[in-house]
Amino acid sequence: MTSDWDLDAVQDLLHGRSNWRRWGDDDQMGAVNLITDRKRVEAARLVRTGRTLSLSRPFPTRPQAGNPRPAAHYTTKTPRGAGGISGDYYGIEYHGIASTHVDALCHVWDDQGMWQGRDPDVELTSRGSRWGSIDHWRRGILTRGVLLDVPAFRGEPYVTQSRPVHGDELDEIARAQGVTLGAGDAVVVYSGRDSWDREQPAWGTGHTELGAPRRPGLHASCLAFLRDHDCAALAWDMLDHTPNEWGIPWTVHGAVFAYGLAVVDNCELRQLADVCRAEGRYEFLFVVSPLVVEGGTGSPANPLAVL
């Protein structure tokens, strides 16, 4: 298991191995460029039974730990002749740890800038982002998905704070499951968040003595896994292992601005893991269709696995 990671090694993954200008100076699609028409056709051929699983958590309308600003939902009922019509209002601040959502390329940055090195003070306005916004993925993200089941590999119910998921462990899991990651794939990492929530205080609500978030998840070395395999998307239930030992703002989430990945946060993956174990197959058609919000920093999402 990888243990000798220092700040220089992490910074090299974020900057020395970035995808900046790989698809031109003005590219705003990022690693989704790797999902070619041919890749989509190959992914569609993975469908055998047509069984479809949602990887989304319920719309988070109840205030609770980890969801201090819940989504708003109310319905209306209006008469129309002898009948009527019902309607809804939805309002959501979806970034965070409660809502399943996809991050756009403008969502995070570090001291060297957003995707392609753009300046967030220039590109971000109160009415949206001028660069790397979610509407650039309006055609959807449809590709081969590969589940990596960490709890099954470890023989434990969930990932713990003391033992984050490392990049070389993801390679070991792929080999054990008999799958190989390829360019343009969506890697789906199951860490057992549902099992954690049954036995521990709600995932993501722990804090250090200084008040910083404390939560189990993926180690910065997983950046190397994502870059080595040229992944186009990452979907996960537990996010970055926090806090990190280098005090940098983003580790695995840095794949957004460094590699141009579509990152789908807060997925519900237990059912998918159960089905993959039962069927002995870990690849499927993966689909995400973001809302077309011009200038949006991301979108609520209902990712799908089609088997």
Q: For 231-257, what is each residue's pLDDT tens digit?
A: 999 999 999 999 999 999 999 999 999
Burial of 202 (0-12, 13-18, 19+ CB in 10 A): middle
H or E, element range at 275: helix 270-279
Give the pLDDT score at 1. Answer: 43
Please name the amino acid found at residue 76.
T
What is the percent of the chain with per-residue pLDDT over 70, rounded to a whole number? Answer: 99
Residue 130 above 60 pLDDT? yes
Check residue 118 and give its pLDDT: 98
Residue 3 confidence (pLDDT): 55
| Distance of alpha carbon 59 from the chain centroid | 17
More confident residue, 54 or 213: 54
Residue 284 has pLDDT above 80, yes or no: yes
How high does pLDDT run on average in the chain? 96
For residue 59, pLDDT over 80 is answered with yes
How far, in whole angstroms, is CA 51 from its chain's centroid? 22
**For range 24-53, the mean pLDDT:** 98
- pLDDT classification of 2: cutoffs 50, 70, 90: very low
Three-class SS of residue 167? helix
